[in-house]
Chains A and B, each alone.
Chain A
Amino acid sequence: MSDVDRTSRAADPVETHAADLAARLRGPARAKARMVREIRDGLYDTVAAHTERGTRPELAAQRAVREFGTPEELAPSCQQELTIIQARRTARVLALTVPLPLGMWWLSGGTGSDVGGNQLPRTVELFAALPAGVWLAAVLLAVATYLATGPLSRWLPTPHRLPTVIAWTGSIAATAMGTLTLLLVLASPWSASWPQVAVAGALVAVPHGLVAASARACRRCVTA
């Protein structure tokens, strides 16, 4: 793009409107880009319609922006939808990844049964048992959130604070996963098959990263 193009686009009220709206919104990049793009295209269509009716182009752009609503006026309704989309994403990540660390914990002897001589020290088991309970609660809430914000919400109202709840549930679950990762790695020297326990700990770190990032994005949406 040439300098002239850049200058003209920057001066275009429609481009300015789209950039201002995008700067105000938080949420999944693709969903946000799609929403801003649709609004920008709609604005251009409105400008074209006014121009065809004989309005001068610069006035047509101002009129179109006034009819559409300012970025400040549009942002709340756009943000509300993006927050729900991010909450659904976080719920999906939680529901899909949480069973993995639970399985790792069980395989590495966390159930208390001596599976193939892998039993962990009793202290580690006690620490790990709490995160296991947190994860089960988190996965149930995640499934409920995903269902409640999809087609089911045609009949059931979506609780206003549900995105906040799922954001913090994700954060707590991510912290629990991080704790378990450390526990498994630190406890591996005491296990009969320490490489298996150490690998299990390392593998729990992957869902920890996914859930932590998604929960952080959801918290940003909620506070936007």
Chain B
Amino acid sequence: MKSDAVRGHLDGLLLAVLESGPLHGYAIIAAVQERSGGALELRTGTIYPALNRMERLGLLRSHWQSVGERRRRCYELTDAGRGSLATERTAWRDFTATIGAVLDPTPPPRSAS
């Protein structure tokens, strides 16, 4: 899937992989790639400014954590982030239902004669 198609949904993807708990940058990338089965053509470096932006908006909070010998910045959802994820999911279901109904119309059930 091309990166242009992903761009509008990046926030939702990041919120979704953080739903289960705090993760650092590379773990977030790995989770997105794993859940998508590697189908997303995403310049993975772009998630870092996105994470910074979402923290500024109050959707995420972050803290430094020691992982082995290195310190990494871990991100987790705030209450506002959980609310935003719920909104993103609802919007995505409505969108796919609407577009799906047009692209792949289900034939009306035939009446029994």
Query: Which residues on A are within 8 Å of B, measured CB to CB?
Result: 31, 34-35, 38-39, 41-43, 45-46, 49, 67-69, 73-74, 77-78, 80-81, 84-85, 88, 149-151, 153-154
Contact partners of A68 in chain B: CB under 8 A: 43-45
Q: A38 to B56, Cβ gap below 8 A?
A: no
Q: B56 to A149, Cβ gap below 8 A?
A: yes
* CB closest residue in chain A, given B27: A45
> Which of A35, A45, A150 is in CB contact (< 8 Å) with B56?
A150
- B interface residues, how many (CB within 8 angstroms): 23
Chain A nearest Cβ from B2, distance in angstroms: 14
A77-B58 contact, Cβ under 8 Å, with A41-B26, A42-B29, A46-B44: no
A81-B49 contact, Cβ under 8 Å, with A151-B58, A154-B59: yes
Give Cα A84–Cα B48 distance, bound, in whole angstroms: 15
Give Cα A78–Cα B53 distance, bound, in whole angstroms: 10
Q: 8 Å CB contacts to A: which residues of B54-87?
A: 56-59, 70, 72-73, 80, 84
Give Cα A113–Cα B84 distance, bound, in whole angstroms: 54
Q: B46 contacts the other chain (Cβ, under 8 Å)? A: yes
> Which of B43, B44, B58, B84 is in CB contact (< 8 Å) with A150?
B58
Give Cα A21–Cα B87 distance, bound, in whole angstroms: 34
Chain A nearest Cβ from B96, distance in angstroms: 23
* CB closest residue in chain A, given B73: A38
Q: B52 contacts the other chain (Cβ, under 8 Å)? A: yes
In the complex, 21 of the A-B residue pairs with CB atoms within 8 angstroms, ordered by the A residue number, are A34-B52, A35-B48, A39-B25, A39-B45, A41-B26, A41-B72, A42-B26, A45-B26, A46-B29, A69-B46, A73-B45, A74-B49, A77-B49, A80-B49, A85-B56, A149-B56, A150-B57, A150-B58, A151-B80, A153-B57, A154-B84
A81-B52 contact, Cβ under 8 Å, with A69-B44, A150-B58: yes
Give Cα A80–Cα B12 distance, bound, in whole angstroms: 20
> Which of B29, B48, B52, B57 is in CB contact (< 8 Å) with A151?
B57
Chain B nearest Cβ from A52, distance in angstroms: 12
Q: B50 contacts the other chain (Cβ, under 8 Å)? A: yes
Q: B49 to A69, Cβ gap below 8 A?
A: no
Contact partners of A42 in chain B: CB under 8 A: 25-26, 29, 44-45, 48
Contact partners of A85 in chain B: CB under 8 A: 52, 56
Chain B nearest Cβ from A83, distance in angstroms: 11
Contact partners of B26 in chain A: CB under 8 A: 41-42, 45-46, 49
Give Cα A149–Cα B53 distance, bound, in whole angstroms: 10
Q: B52 to A35, Cβ gap below 8 A?
A: yes
Give Cα A135–Cα B112 distance, bound, in whole angstroms: 78
Q: B73 to A34, Cβ gap below 8 A?
A: yes
Chain A nearest Cβ from B49, distance in angstroms: 4
7 closest A-B pairs by beta carbon, nearest first, are A69-B43, A45-B26, A68-B45, A151-B58, A81-B49, A69-B45, A74-B45
